[in-house]
Amino acid sequence: MRHKFWETQPVKQFKDNGDISLPEGPIEPPIPLSEVKQEPYNLPNLYEWITCDIDSEETRAEVCNLLTHNYIEDDKNMFRFNYSKEFLRWALRPPGYCKSWHIGVRINFLCVHKKLRSKRLAPVMIKEVTRRVHLENIWQAAYTAGVVLPTPISSCLYWHRSLNPKKLIDVGFCRLGARMTMSRMIKLYKLPDSTCTPGFRQMELHDVPAVTQLLRNYLNQFEVAPDFDENDVKHWLLPTENVVDSYVVESPESHKITDFCSFYSLPSSILGNQKYSILKAAYSFYNVATKTPLLQLMNDVLIVANRKDYDVFNALDVMQNETFIKELKFGPGDGKLYYLYNYWLRDTLKPMELGLVLL
């Protein structure tokens, strides 16, 4: 398959895959900022660039509305991600973000949506955001997509743990298998009311240094992972109601933080169901177990998510997630592909070699 746009970009091309003569690292070196194109890319007539002010309640609502009606759907178009305004505030304003990277396109009076597909607008938007990132002297990026582009560094799979099997079946998220009844299904996925690990509690502000240490030590072992400092941990992991939730295990004896787990909250709209309109989904984020077995820690997170009324708990097969996925009754779902922009990695990575979760 030809990729008219991606073949012109500094990303690993399919034809070079596995070429051992190429050095790992950046594909194109940085250039002086004065040589980065200073004017925005041209848009077709009647379209104009805008910078979305994510701090403004009104703009946030507009972006939220655009995504709610036009963002990612599953293969069968039964569900569509429904990012909340609070989630967008969190996802789009991490430490080091620049306002100018929140680009939007408007046509006169009308907001961009489904009707503007297949007009080669995506390449211009990607080039424009790349140009603005270059102007901040940043030359690499990581991204994920459901579609195959040149060239994934890894292909991962989503796994789903039913918490509310009745609703999941009602909305068509899963089906009753052969020789399975609703009541057996409900029993199969039933979880206890309270967590079992002593010292398991929600993360608090004063845990930030300890959690940062735990995470840094843990993420070190992966081929691709974020390099979190305390500021990042505070932003990405400190609990925010209905956005992100984190738990620690504080040793009852030493009061040391020995384990950590987290999930983010990303509901989906249920398309065309009479009874339900929203699927409440939790997504496994970063988990570090040094003392508590990971399986037990994750079982406790499932208990918490279930208590908070999530319908399903999702996890990618990244990091050490494979070690609990089967045992904790997750079932397989869609794939998610990971990519790097302007960085050559010789070999494709196994999901377990990835230490990065993107929203």
Judged by CB under 6 A, the chain residues 218 through 237 that form the site for ligand NHW are none
From 144-152, 176-184, 206-214, 308-316, give the range in contact with ligand NHW by CB under 6 A: 144-152
Q: How many residues belong to the site for ligand NHW (CB under 6 A)?
A: 29
- In the bound state with ligand NHW, the residue whose beta carbon lies nearer, of 144 and 155, is 144
Among 37, 99, 119, 256, binds ligand NHW (CB under 6 A): 119
The CB-of-232 to Mg ion minimum distance in angstroms stands at 33
- The answer to whether 121 contacts Mg ion (rule: CB under 5 A) is yes
- The answer to whether 141 contacts ligand NHW (rule: CB under 6 A) is yes
Helix/strand/coil for 289: strand
Nearest to 261 by CA among 221, 227, 309, 294: 294
Cα gap 293→264, rounded to integer Å:
22
Q: x-or-dash pattern for Mg ion, window 282-321, by CB under 5 A?
A: ----------------------------------------
Cα gap 95→97, rounded to integer Å:
6
CA angle 345, 350, 354 (to 5 degrees): 75
Helical ranges in 112-222 per DSSP H = 121-134, 165-170, 182-189, 208-219
DSSP letter string, 213-247: HHHHHHHTTSSB-----HHHHHHHHS-BTTTEEEE
Among 15, 37, 113, 119, binds Mg ion (CB under 5 A): 119
- Fill in the amino acid letter for 118: S
Biggest CA pair distance of the chain: 67
- In the bound state with ligand NHW, the residue whose beta carbon lies nearer, of 208 and 271, is 271
CA 138 to chain centre: 21
The CB-of-294 to ligand NHW minimum distance in angstroms stands at 28
- The answer to whether 133 contacts ligand NHW (rule: CB under 6 A) is yes
Residue 53 in tokens: 């002010």
From 120-128, 237-245, 255-263, 344-352, give the range in contact with Mg ion by CB under 5 A: 120-128
Q: Which does 149 bind (CB under 5 to 8 A by kind): Mg ion, ligand NHW, none?
A: ligand NHW
CA 281 to chain centre: 13
* Beta-sheet strands, E only, within 8-140: 47-51, 79-81, 103-107
Q: 2 burial class (0-12, 13-18, 19+ CB within 10 angstroms)? A: exposed
- The answer to whether 113 contacts Mg ion (rule: CB under 5 A) is no
CA angle 237, 239, 244 (to 5 degrees): 70
Judged by CB under 6 A, the chain residues 162 through 221 that form the site for ligand NHW are none
Q: Which does 341 bind (CB under 5 to 8 A by kind): ligand NHW, Mg ion, none?
A: ligand NHW
The CB-of-150 to Mg ion minimum distance in angstroms stands at 19
Q: Which helix (H) or strand (E) holds 157?
A: strand 154-162
The CB-of-112 to Mg ion minimum distance in angstroms stands at 9
- The answer to whether 36 contacts Mg ion (rule: CB under 5 A) is no
- Fill in the amino acid letter for 116: L
What number of H helices and E strands is found in the chain? 9, 14
Cα gap 63→20, rounded to integer Å:
43
- The answer to whether 149 contacts ligand NHW (rule: CB under 6 A) is yes
Q: Which does 47 bind (CB under 5 to 8 A by kind): ligand NHW, Mg ion, none?
A: none
Give the single-character DSSP code of 33.
G
The CB-of-265 to ligand NHW minimum distance in angstroms stands at 18
From 75-83, 112-120, 154-162, 261-269, give the range in contact with Mg ion by CB under 5 A: 112-120
Judged by CB under 6 A, the chain residues 53 through 82 that form the site for ligand NHW are 70-72
> Does the annotation count 191 as an active-site position?
no
Binding site for Mg ion (CB under 5 A): 119, 121
- The residue ranges that bind ligand NHW (CB under 6 A) are 3-6, 70-72, 117-123, 126, 129-130, 133, 138-141, 143-145, 147, 149, 341-342
Residues labelled catalytic: 359
